[in-house]
Amino acid sequence: MAVVAERLRFVTAPDGREVAFAVWGDPAGFPVLRLHGTPGCRLMRWPDETVYGRLGVCFVTHDRAGYARSSRLRGRRVVDDADDVRLIADELGFEQFGVSGGSGGGPHALACAARLPGRVIRASCWVGSAPYGPPGLDHDAWFDGMDPENVRDFQLSFEGEDAVNANHERLQAKYEAQVAADDTSNVLEEYDLSESDREGFARPEFVQVLNETIREHAVNGVCGWTDDLLALMGPWGFDVSEITVPVLIRYGTSDVLVPRTHGDWLAANVPNCVVRVDDTGHLGRDLVVEIAEDLRWLRDGTPPA
């Protein structure tokens, strides 16, 4: 089966912004749009691209507004990414498709499920966060079980954009220094990660993608990362109760980046969702197996065993 990789393409939004995206896998396969985490960019994919081709999937990633090569949309909400997803689907001629989002991309995938029901046939939200405040989790519940380093970053949103941006510039400089020193397997060394996450971060394929992503996502500054955090902590612009398409909610019991309280809330509030709770952290147990499970769900509606 033919496999193609296009690492950088652009489409222009009606407001003149440029939206950067990439295409991997089987160009004639079932289309899946994958929404990256926070921070991240279109290069967040499994580096052995034949994984997608073997499953008959055309796997599309994009830089959310402000990240990497995509123009910034200052003040964007979570729901606004659905417009860019529709724009990319139109550009590629996808009438219907699946949408998957992990971590900070999870809420954005839910936005697509809510606002593109005629186009999105199934969605998945992996270790995604819940809304902060009504109608989501209250302050204490939102941060319950979260590593203090992550708490510190999210709570800067209460101080405003400049405070968040300054912290992200500091972190980005640190991460880029680790890339230069070939030390990204320890990129979250100060976090009290689960054993499965420490193993996942050390996996060569994950290190490769992390190196590529760190170099790329802030090539035009950290504003995408900052805008993501502000969007996740502010009003999302939609309610998960709007969702009518099938959604897989998957999360881990030992996740300290997006704790299980978030997954529990989503599982209880996304209508008619399929729920999979794993005894793992943020990265799962075996990414290749879990990627295949996700793609089969999106393609065929087959839930993980």
In order of 180, 212, 249, the CA distances from 122 in angstroms are 39, 29, 11
Beta-bridge partners for 277: 251
Residue type present at position 257: L
Please state the domain count of the chain. 1
Tokens 């320890």 label which residue? Answer: 186
pLDDT tens figures, 132-188:
999 999 999 999 999 999 999 999 999 999 999 999 999 999 999 999 888 877 788
Q: Return the structure tokens found at 214.
A: 């760190």
Question: Nearest 10 degrees: CA dihedral of 4, 295, 238, 162?
Answer: -60
Beta-bridge partners for 99: 33, 123
Instruction: Answer yes or no: is 197 within a domain.
Output: yes
Instruction: Answer yes or no: is 268 within a domain.
Output: yes
Instruction: Answer yes or no: is 86 within a domain.
Output: yes
Average pLDDT along the chain: 95
**What is the greatest pairwise CA distance in the chain?**
51
Judge whether residue 84 has pLDDT over 60: yes
By residue range, what is the domain housing residue 152?
A: 6-300
Judge whether residue 229 has pLDDT over 90: yes
Instruction: Answer yes or no: is 305 within a domain.
Output: no
Neighbours of 261 (CB within 10 A): 20
- Whether residue 63 contacts residue 86, with contact meaning beta carbons closer than 8 Å, is answered with no
pLDDT tens figures, 233-277:
999 999 999 999 999 999 999 999 999 999 999 999 999 999 999
* pLDDT of the residue at 1: 46
Give the CATH number, domain containing residue 63: 3.40.50.1820
- Whether the CA torsion 24, 26, 27, 28 is positive or negative: it is negative
- How far apart are alpha carbons 285 and 124 in whole angstroms? 17
Judge whether residue 222 has pLDDT over 70: yes
Judge whether residue 302 has pLDDT over 60: yes
* pLDDT of the residue at 4: 57
The backbone torsions φ and ψ at residue 267, rounded to the nearest 5 degrees and listed phi first, read -60, -35
pLDDT band, residue 189 (cuts 50/70/90): confident
Q: Return the structure tokens found at 105.
A: 């991309």
Instruction: Answer yes or no: is 103 within a domain.
Output: yes
Global pTM value: 0.97
Instruction: Answer yes or no: is 1 within a domain.
Output: no
